[in-house]
């Protein structure tokens, strides 16, 4: 989660809250390895939609 805090600029409690919501809605899954927790998308369709959204947004940006 530390990397998400650094990359997003959000607080650790905010990241924890968002990840909890994503877990509850089964959009992400997690696994523990020692003290570290790794998160991944739980549904490949969500990843596809996300990438399509990014592609669409990048096409809409003026050059």
Q: What percent of the chain has pLDDT over 70?
A: 97
Between CA 4 and CA 11 the distance in angstroms is 9
Does pTM top 0.85 for this prediction? no
Beta-carbon contacts of residue 18 (< 8 Å; ≥ 6 apart): 10
All structural domains of the chain, each given as residue ranges with its CATH number in brackets, are 2-60 (1.10.10.10)
Whether the CB-CB separation of 28 and 19 falls below 8 Å is answered with yes
pLDDT band at 63 (very low <50, low <70, confident <90, very high): low
Percent of the chain with pLDDT over 90: 63
3-state secondary structure of 9: coil
């Amino acid at each position: 989660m530390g990397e998400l805090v650094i990359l997003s600029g959000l607080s650790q409690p905010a990241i924890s809250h968002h990840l909890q919501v994503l877990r509850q809605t089964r959009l992400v899954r997690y696994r523990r390895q020692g003290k570290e927790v790794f998160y991944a998308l739980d549904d490949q369709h969500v990843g596809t939609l996300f990438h399509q959204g990014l592609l669409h947004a990048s096409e809409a940006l003026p050059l």
